[in-house]
Amino acid sequence: MIRLLNVVAILVAMFGLNACLISPAPLITPDKAAYPFADGARLDHVSGDTHRRVILLREGNYYLHVEDGGPEETPSVLRGMMYEFAPGAFILQAEIPPEGDKERAYMYAILTLDEPRGFKRFDLTCGGVKELLEGSSQTLKSFGLSEAASDSDCMVETLDGLSALAKVVLAKGGEADSTYVPVP
């Protein structure tokens, strides 16, 4: 149970978990995956005033995002894949483990190369996407998204739609939600 709580805590920290973009099945599969980080890459994850050390490990076709919360916490582990939708720009897919009556699901964010510093992460939330599209002719449906009936999440139907949305998000600019800086 404690391990599951750690996974949930890292998901909250990694994606904000407030009305996420999710899918019931993975949109990024091994044949589409990109691996911009070497196995064992060490990064500083900076989000606001929080700085945490991250190690990215390869486990078969997946990355394991291992985040050290400090001496008081058990390291959190998140399993996922990346897809390069434009040069130096990736969609992150994180696996949400099943819990109780909820089945396994997948959630998404954007990671962009920010040379020479490292990478920037942009979280994708349903509310943020709706706000971004406000006043434009594009809708959630334009990108293969629909609002989930049971909560405020948006369901993602296709990787192509998500890639098109990611390009719009990056074109609009805005501040990254966090950064990953390589550690020697």
What secondary structure does DSSP assign to 43-79, as a single string?
EEEEETTEEEEEEEEEETTEEEEEEE--TTSPPEEEE
State the Cα–Cα distance between residues 1 and 6, nearest whole angstrom: 9
pLDDT of residue 44: 92
- Other CB atoms within 10 Å distance of the CB of residue 47: 17
- Determine the pLDDT at residue 119: 94
78, β-bridge pairs: 65
* Cβ–Cβ under 8 Å, residues 91 and 163: yes
Q: What was the pLDDT predicted at 100?
A: 81
Residue 19, pLDDT score: 65
pLDDT of 160: 97
Contact 126, 169 (CB under 8 A): no
pLDDT score at 110:
96
pLDDT digits (tens, 9 = 90+) for 143-157: 999 987 666 789 999
Q: Which two tokens stand for residue 129?
A: 């996407």
The pLDDT value recorded for residue 48 is 87
At 3 the pLDDT is 37
Q: Which positions of the chain have pLDDT values less than 70?
A: 1-19, 69-75, 149-151
Q: What pLDDT, on the 0 to 100 scale, is given for residue 4? A: 33
Fill in the amino acid letter for 74: T
- The reported pTM is 0.83
Cβ(33)–Cβ(26) under 8 Å?
no
